[in-house]
């Protein structure tokens, strides 16, 4: 278990994650695709499909991307479509363009979302709100993407999760994918969407391979924004998560299954709009809910899910209070032992499940 976690943490995912294989049916002509490559494919396909799409960000072109997500794109598409910018987040995300018919569809890469704070005014005030303020005159088709949340040993200023911050704002769509399939399908949908989309990737997931079906590998494969996915059906308790922690939930579910506890694991895929119906349907079946996220507890994604469950029909089906498993409410420390204990571990999920089920 510890060794497995080590692999996941360092992102050197040359070895397939064993626990995944049994959950994804191996279809004909399916392939093992790393998250990084899925993202690359998505951008490549969309750049080819629509001349108005272009990518800009720090080191995306000649360096092939700080995390190599845009590898090969500059060689293929050149200076006009893949643009290296100076270190200036504000300008990077200000590529507001004339209306979609005549205008451009930029993909703006933040090296990490921590740096997006430098430009968050533009994301919120110039991108998210503009269509509303102009009463429909000025749409903003732009994608902001980059790694979000904790990495490994990068300390406090480089480890924050922004799902809750961006998820708070109307006018934005916020996506937090987990698997390679999620990344490819959702990034394509994000690029094709005529509205501002914040696409929160995860650095530790970049090197993790997933089985991708033939269908998922096709050029027209998109996943609708705003729909969650039940990664593992179960009957005793619902686990809701997003991004990397979906994997942790599945790991915890595998351990719990040996004790006869069947967890239903929901991969949110999209933070905003939240697929409440999916969660409600599940809770109404299992009667128990635990949310799992990497971000801080206060005013976070889990808090929102619990509030919505309280306000909706699923409340009456709960046999125990819904609880949240979150990152520890502190700035991220550096030392490995401290860092490891600052984010949810599989044992924390197992513990919370058992407490909720009172076993």
Partner 1 sequence: FCVCVFVVSRSYADFTPQATFDIKKCEVHRLEEGPAGKAELTREQGLQYYRTMQTIRRMELRADQLYKQKIIRGFCHLYDGQEACAVGIESAINPSDHLITAYRSHGYTYTRGVSVKEILAELTGRKGGVAKGKGGSMHMYAPHFYGGNGIVGAQIPLGAGIALACQYQGNNQVCVTLYGDGAANQGQLFESFNMAALWKLPCIFICENNRYGMGTSVERASASTDYYMRGDFIPGIRVDGMDVLCVREATKFAADHCRAGKGPIVMELQTYRYHGHSMSDPGVSYRTREEIQEVRSKSDPISLLKERMLSSNMASAEEFKVIDVEIRKEVEEAAQFATSDPEPPLEELCNHIFYNEAPIEVRGTNPWSKLKSVS
Positions annotated as catalytic residues are 89, 158
Residue 316 found at the interface with partner 1 (CB under 8 A)? no
Please tell me the distance from the alpha carbon of residue 213 to that of residue 27, in angstroms, as a whole number: 6
Per-position x/- string for 212-251, each x denoting binding to partner 1 as judged by CB under 8 A, each - no binding: ----------------------------------------
Residue 318 found at the interface with partner 1 (CB under 8 A)? no
Residue 270 found at the interface with partner 1 (CB under 8 A)? no
Q: Is-contact 134 170, C-beta < 8 A?
A: no
Residue 96 found at the interface with partner 1 (CB under 8 A)? yes
Task: Count other C-beta atoms under 10 Å from residue 212's C-beta.
Answer: 26
Please tell me the distance from the alpha carbon of residue 211 to that of residue 206, in angstroms, as a whole number: 14
Residue count, binding to partner 1 (CB under 8 A): 39
Which residue in the set 4, 17, 19, 91 belongs to the binding site for partner 1 (CB under 8 A)?
Answer: 91
Rounded to the nearest whole angstrom, what is the least distance from the CB of residue 127 to partner 1 in the complex?
Answer: 10
Which residue in the set 70, 112, 116, 122 belongs to the binding site for partner 1 (CB under 8 A)?
Answer: 122
Q: Where are the alpha helices (DSSP H) in the chain?
A: 2-10, 18-21, 35-49, 73-81, 89-92, 120-121, 130-133, 163-167, 180-192, 214-217, 245-258, 276-286, 301-311, 336-340, 346-357
Structure tokens at 140: 């903003």
Q: At which residue do the structure tokens 């995944």 appear?
A: 20
Rounded to the nearest whole angstrom, what is the least distance from the CB of residue 258 to partner 1 in the complex?
Answer: 39
Which residue in the set 137, 258, 316, 358 belongs to the binding site for partner 1 (CB under 8 A)?
Answer: 137
Which residue in the set 19, 97, 152, 257 belongs to the binding site for partner 1 (CB under 8 A)?
Answer: 97
Map residue 325 onto helix, strand or coil. strand
Per-position x/- string for 60-79, each x denoting binding to partner 1 as judged by CB under 8 A, each - no binding: --------------------
Pairing status of strand 209-212 against strand 143-147: unpaired
189 closest CA partner among 213, 149, 222, 166: 222
Residue 312 found at the interface with partner 1 (CB under 8 A)? yes
Residues that bind partner 1 (CB under 8 A): 54, 80, 85-86, 88, 90-91, 94-98, 100, 102-104, 121-122, 125-126, 130-139, 141, 170-171, 173, 194-195, 273, 311-312
């Amino acid at each position: 278990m510890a060794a497995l976690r080590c692999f996941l943490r360092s992102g050197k995912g040359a070895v397939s994650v064993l626990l995944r294989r049994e959950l994804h049916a191996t279809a004909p002509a399916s392939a093992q695709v790393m998250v990084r490559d899925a993202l690359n494919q998505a951008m490549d396909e969309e750049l080819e499909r629509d001349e108005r799409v272009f990518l800009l960000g720090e080191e995306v072109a000649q360096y092939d991307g700080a995390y190599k997500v845009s590898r090969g794109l500059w060689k293929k598409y050149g200076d006009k479509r893949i643009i290296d910018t100076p270190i200036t987040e504000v300008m990077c995300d200000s590529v507001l363009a004339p209306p979609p018919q005549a205008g451009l569809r930029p993909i703006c890469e933040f090296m990490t979302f921590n740096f997006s704070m430098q430009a968050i005014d533009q994301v919120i005030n110039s991108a998210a709100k503009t269509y509303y303020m102009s009463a429909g005159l000025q749409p903003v088709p732009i994608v902001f993407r980059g790694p979000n949340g904790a990495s490994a040993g990068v300390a406090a200023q480089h480890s924050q999760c922004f799902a809750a911050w961006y998820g708070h704002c109307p006018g934005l769509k916020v996506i937090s994918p987990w698997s390679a399939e999620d990344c490819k399908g959702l990034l394509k949908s994000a690029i094709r969407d005529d509205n501002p989309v914040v696409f929160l990737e995860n650095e530790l997931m970049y090197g993790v391979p997933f089985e991708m079906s033939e269908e998922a590998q096709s050029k027209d494969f998109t996943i609708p924004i705003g729909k969650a996915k039940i990664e593992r059906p179960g009957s005793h308790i619902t686990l809701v998560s997003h991004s990397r922690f979906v994997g942790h939930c599945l790991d915890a579910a595998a351990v719990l299954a040996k004790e006869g506890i069947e967890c239903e694991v929901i991969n949110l895929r999209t933070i905003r709009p939240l697929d409440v119906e999916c969660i409600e349907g599940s809770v109404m079946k299992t009667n128990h809910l635990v949310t799992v996220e990497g971000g801080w507890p206060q005013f976070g994604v889990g808090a929102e899910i619990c509030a919505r469950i309280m306000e909706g029909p699923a409340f009456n089906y709960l046999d125990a209070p819904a609880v949240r498993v979150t990152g520890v409410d502190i700035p991220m420390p550096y030392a490995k032992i401290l860092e490891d204990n600052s984010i949810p571990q599989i044992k924390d999920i197992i513990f919370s499940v058992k407490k909720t089920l009172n076993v």
